Structure 1
Amino acid sequence: MQKFYLILILVLTFSCAQKQSDNRIAEFEKVLGERQTKALNLLVSDFEKNLSKIYPNLTIEQGYNEYLTDLISDSTTDWEKFKFQSDKTNAEFHKSGLWNEIYTKDSVSGLQVNGIGKYMQALYSVKDSDSLIKKYWKKREAAGMMQNELVIPGILSLNPDFDNYFHKRIVVAEFSF
């Protein structure tokens, strides 16, 4: 009978955690917008297809780590492998308005983070539920665009879980300009 109660408690705990996760995703997507969410999902899909192509012997999760590590490695010379957007996805990224929600172009200083765009608002809506989201949001809000040599070690130091819906999207959005 004790085993039954233990199993029941575990099932209830897991289902509550799953519901909280689903609620966070729903909130993020609601703030971001339906079309922008679809565009972001396309970017993630293209990114993961590229990971499978350039790291065929690694899991997708390991591929995320390797991609980030290779991106700042002094020994990396093949920069083409980091390009992951199909023409169709890139077109939707712009037509959906997602690009404008993440970035802005400044004629003086070039590419800038859209600190008041829906992407930052969507991250803000869920930031208190995850330490990586919270720290990333704070750094991005304070510093705007950051060099890869700063962003990547920062993300990796927070032990990202590349099974996590949000961690994936942070990385993909960060390298989708």
Structure 2
Amino acid sequence: MQKTYLILFLILTFSCSQTDSQIAEFEKVMGDKQTKAINLLVSDFEKNLNKTYPDLSIEKGYEQYLNDLISDSTRDWEKFKFQSDKTNLEFHQSGLWDNIYSKDSQESLKINTTGKYIEALYSIKKPDPLIKIYREKRKAVGIMQNEILVNGIMDSDPDFNNYFHKRIVVLEFSF
């Protein structure tokens, strides 16, 4: 019986340390300023979830936000705005915006397929299905319609306790 507990403990410890090393590698590629900007975006997003969906947990709030975003019955578009002025300034001044987006000669918004964000996503050595599908589609397709993006995320069984899943959602809706 003690051996079973020891084996379970070692498996859990290994899983956590693997995730911690993936986060550390992601943040190393992104750099301190851009990691700080991402963390501010996540914080603002989650504050907005608490305000918009006060009766839901953060995890359920992410799910409801995505469902409301593509719902035909949604009329209150203000609830999707979550960035504070400070966070928006940090988003741009840190260079994070430039690492995610670019503008072409017609001033259309495009995905920066060579930026640190894509590079950081590819630094995750053993990605889960959501991360794997997301990074491949993002690099191949670029900006996706909300419905396609949301359905793709939801079909990949997201875990909104997951560091990466949260950042994927938040960065997709930060312009």
State the TM bucket, normalised to the shorter chain: over 0.9
Deviation at 1:109, TM superposition (A): 5.6
Which residues of 2 match residues 63-142 of structure 1 at below 5 A? Answer: 63-108=61-106, 110-126=108-124, 128-142=126-140
Q: Does 1:151 align with 2:149?
A: yes
What 5-or-longer segments of structure 1 have no aligned partner? none
Q: Does 1:37 align with 2:7?
A: no
TM-score (norm 2): 0.98
Q: For residues 125 and 6 of structure 2, what CA distance do their matches in structure 1 show?
A: 30
Q: For residues 140 and 107 of structure 2, what CA distance do their matches in structure 1 show?
A: 16
**Length, aligned pairs only:** 175
Deviation at 1:53, TM superposition (A): 0.3
Deviation at 1:175, TM superposition (A): 0.2
What 5-or-longer segments of structure 2 have no aligned partner? none
Deviation at 1:131, TM superposition (A): 1.1
Which residues of 2 match residues 46-65 of structure 1 at below 5 A? Answer: 46-65=44-63
- 1:126 is paired with a residue whose SS is coil
Q: For residues 54 and 41 of structure 2, what CA distance do their matches in structure 1 show?
A: 19
In structure 1, give the amino acid aligned to 2:47.
K
TM-score (norm 1): 0.97
Runs of 4 or more above 2 Å deviation = none
Deviation at 1:149, TM superposition (A): 1.3
How large is the RMSD of aligned CA atoms in angstroms?
0.9
Deviation at 1:42, TM superposition (A): 0.3
CA contact (8 A) 2:46 2:58 kept: yes
CA contact (8 A) 2:159 2:165 kept: yes
In structure 2, give the amino acid aligned to 1:131.
P
- 2:102 is paired with a residue whose SS is strand
Deviation string, structure 1 residues 61-93 (Cα, Å, up to 9, x no partner): 000000000001000000011000000000000
1:172 to 167, 170, 173: 170
CA contact (8 A) 1:127 1:134 kept: no
